[in-house]
Amino acid sequence: MGITLSADNLAFRWDHTRDVFSQVSFTLHPGELFCILGPNGVGKSTLLRCLINLLDLHRGFVRIDGADIRKINRQVLSRKMAFVPQGYDVAFSYTILEYVLMGRAPYISAFSSPAEEDVKIAVNAIREAGVYHLIDKPITEVSGGEHQLALIARALAQQPEILLLDEPTSHLDFGNQMQVLSLIERLSDRGITIIMTSHFPDHAFIVSDQVGIMREGVLSTIGPANSVITSTTLQETYNVDVRVEYNEVAKRNVCIPLRYNKAGPNPVEPVLDMLLRDCSDPAYLYANCD
Amino acid sequence: MNHPDPLPENDNLSLPGEQDRYKNEPDDITRIIKKMHFTTFLTAGLCILPFIVILCSLFIGRYEISPQTVMHILLSPIIPMEHTWSAAEETIILQIRLPRIIAAVMVGAALSMAGAAYQGLFKNPLVSPDILGVSWGAGFGAAIAILVTSNSGAVQICAFIGGITAVASTYFLSRLYKSEHILVLVLSGVIVGSFFQALVSITKYIADPYETLPTIVFWLMGSLSSVNYTDIISIAPAILFGGAILLLIRWRINLLSLGSDEAKALGINMKQITRIIIICATLLTAASVCISGIIGWVGLVVPHLSRMTTGPDYCRLLPMTIVIGASYLLIMDDIARTLISTEIPLGILTALIGAPFFAFLLWRRKTGWV
């Protein structure tokens, strides 16, 4: 069990003109958990979509066990890789069970419907994700967090060896975030290779084996969380004053965002001041934001 | 900092009681599977509904024939028996009511299936079978044929060709945009539909106001009054083919309603299945329209009624649209031919009853999406 996934010098551009990212390379071994951090709009979701061949790469190769994923039949690929998108929009009120059963699609031929075996796998996936109590509830009536867990259950019903999660913890409350993270950790322990994007550097400390920070179209540094996520890198990435400190209670590093505090031990210039100094006319300010 | 209750295990996030969840596992699954079988069994029971409606429809009509006589006439070709009825009665049952009933059942089922399939494809419960312009294309084909000939066979063939042409134009127009987005298809459908509607208006404008114009107008209103066995046999292959394919792939239609990206990630070949659904639904709609004229609202209302009965899973939904669609249009057609002394155009009736009925469904908020 387990596949090695490697990304080799990936590049993507919208409409063949606007570069989103380039020179993205990494290799993941079975059961590794890779967490991608980065500011909004930097291309994290785009990268995930490229990794599962939903978007066409401009350059580079994604390989699983040495085979180019673009050359693999989509149905075969979907038995190995599952994707949990960030947004969801379901037109009809399927029950959670029907919704998760759709994850069995890669194993069901075009002319047939789920069999009892598929129901068993789906029910177990629902149990695993911890939404068994909602099994008969319409998906349109559950909360955002429950929907997220149902999506993960659906991905699990695919019985994938690689799981891609696009910001699985956004929109979730504190409790649900931890529930999702603990689920992700359990899956990783079971040997599933996981790639997730996140907005919370803390989450990378909690679960990840490897962390990559995406900035200005490149995945600049990749390595264990403790070496990649530092006060300096976070400040450079998010343009805010952040301290990464070891916490005795949590027994791990935690990120503490600070306010613009010039009198602090390490005075950092407020972001707004930096921006305003750089550009005296507002047009320049707009030019920076896509 | 003062933490009175530090977490005992920080690297293990599993919640207490997690192991207990796996208790009774086999029981639960058997229970769930049993429940699924039971629901399927219940919905299968509804399949007798159209047969009851068919039987009742044979009994009613302006010319009164007793149910006993109707049964005798129906069974006479199979079981030899004494002729106790008049030739007129036999003609009315076998040559007028029966073909009309068969046609209503076929058209109702076909339009409803096409509507349900398109609603899945476009992820939108407000889509009807003529979303890609098939009705106005068929209308234009029929109008042209009525202008030049009075042969009803030619009108049907032209209507069928017109409908297919309109959908093909829609499809190729949407390919021009080089976007896989499903909305482009809807937009192209609107464009092509409006274009053919304008063409229909032109033919109406140049038609002879005493001879051909009324025929075109009546055709566009939709009716099953002149259907005969030849019509039924000529559209049956298209309807059986389109319907059978849709029934076979019905579970996959569920996946389309998740959206293109998610369906792809689940291993679905979007282009292929989109094409299959468009071809099947177009065959169903064009075949229906060419013998019945334009009948609106059926393809919109029936999928909703079915969804309220079976839930949104196409496994059960699509067979149910056949059952309900057939019964629904047959009842409408019965009303159309018996309510007042002259025939009411079926298309008018389906809209007159369908629109308020749809409003009622929305008001009850049972549709699951409002």
The model's pLDDT over B69-126, given as tens digits with 9 standing for 90+, comes to 998 888 888 888 888 888 899 899 999 999 999 999 999 999 999 999 999 999 888 8
Q: Is A74 on the interface with B (CB under 8 A)?
A: yes
Task: Write down the pLDDT at residue B365.
Answer: 61
C-beta atoms of B254 and A252 within 8 A:
no
* Mean pLDDT computed over A49-78: 92
- Residue B57 identity: S
What is the ipTM score, two decimals? Answer: 0.85
Phi-psi region of B184 (alpha: psi -120 to 50; beta: other; left: phi over 0): alpha
Interface test with A, best of B10, B122, B249, B313 (most A CBs within 10 A): B313
Domain CATH number, residue A251: 3.40.50.300
pLDDT range class, residue A283, cuts 50, 70, 90: low
Give, as one character, the DSSP assignment of residue B131. G
Domain CATH number, residue B130: 1.10.3470.10
Rounded to 5 degrees, what are φ and ψ at A40?
-55, 140
**pLDDT of residue A263 exceeding 50:** no
Query: Residue A172: how many CA atoms within 13 Å on its side-chain side?
Result: 23
Q: Give the residue on B whose Cα is nearest the Cα of A156.
A: B266
**pLDDT of residue B11 exceeding 60:** no
- Residue from the list B261, B268, B368 with its beta carbon closest to the beta carbon of A92: B368
Lowest mean pLDDT among A234-243, A273-282, B183-192, B358-367: A273-282
* Mean pLDDT computed over B328-350: 93
Q: Tell me the whole-structure pTM to 2 decimals.
A: 0.86
Residue B3 lies in a domain: no
Give the number of domains in chain A: 1
E strands present in B216-287: none
- Residue from the list A75, A111, A182 with its beta carbon closest to the beta carbon of B248: A111
Residues B119 and B125 sit within 8 Å (Cβ to Cβ): yes
Give the number of domains in chain B: 1
Give, as one character, the DSSP assignment of residue B6. -
Q: Is A52 on the interface with B (CB under 8 A)?
A: yes
Helix or strand holding residue B316 (H, E): helix B314-338
Q: Give the residue on A whose Cα is nearest the Cα of B310.
A: A94
C-beta atoms of B266 and A132 within 8 A:
no
Residue B8 lies in a domain: no
Residue B92 lies in a domain: no
C-beta atoms of B29 and A119 within 8 A:
yes
Task: Write down the pLDDT at residue A150.
Answer: 93
d(Cα A9, Cα A47) in Å, to the nearest integer? 12
Task: Write down the pLDDT at residue B7.
Answer: 42
**By residue range, what is the domain housing residue A51?**
5-288
C-beta atoms of A105 and B259 within 8 A:
no
Q: Is A106 on the interface with B (CB under 8 A)?
A: yes
Residue B53 lies in a domain: no
pLDDT range class, residue B26, cuts 50, 70, 90: low
Residue B246: both structure tokens together: 């849709």
pLDDT range class, residue A218, cuts 50, 70, 90: confident
**pLDDT of residue A162 exceeding 90:** yes
- Residue from the list A82, A135, A250 with its beta carbon closest to the beta carbon of B10: A250
List, as one string, the DSSP characters of chain A. Answer: ----EEEEEEEEEETTTEEEEEEEEEEE-TT-EEEEE--TTSSHHHHHHHHTTSS--SEEEEEETTEEGGGS-HHHHHHHEEEE-S----SS--BHHHHHHGGGGGGS-TT----HHHHHHHHHHHHHHT-GGGTTSBGGGS-HHHHHHHHHHHHHHT--SEEEESSTTTT--HHHHHHHHHHHHHHHHTT-EEEEEES-HHHHHHH-SEEEEEETTEEEEEE-HHHH--HHHHHHHHSS-EEEEEETTTTEEEEEE----TTSSS----HHHHHHHH-SSHHHHHHH--
Residues B333 and B288 sit within 8 Å (Cβ to Cβ): no
Strands A33-37 and A59-64: what pairing?
unpaired
Residue A143: both structure tokens together: 């909360």
**pLDDT of residue A34 exceeding 90:** yes
pLDDT range class, residue A276, cuts 50, 70, 90: low
* Mean pLDDT computed over A111-134: 92
d(Cα A126, Cα A121) in Å, to the nearest integer? 9
Task: Write down the pLDDT at residue B233.
Answer: 94
Residue B168 lies in a domain: yes
| Most confident stretch, A215-219, A277-281, B310-314 | B310-314
C-beta atoms of B257 and A54 within 8 A:
no
Lowest mean pLDDT among A198-202, A244-248, A275-279: A275-279
Task: Write down the pLDDT at residue B85.
Answer: 86
C-beta atoms of B251 and A185 within 8 A:
no
**pLDDT of residue A285 exceeding 60:** no
**By residue range, what is the domain housing residue B294?**
97-364
Q: Is A105 on the interface with B (CB under 8 A)?
A: yes
Interface test with B, best of A92, A111, A123 (most B CBs within 10 A): A92
Q: Which residues in A lie closer than 8 A to residue B7 (C-beta atoms)?
A: 249-250
* Mean pLDDT computed over A64-85: 92
Looking up tokens 């038995």, which residue turns up? A79
Rounded to 5 degrees, what are φ and ψ at B355?
-65, -50
Task: Write down the pLDDT at residue A260.
Answer: 58
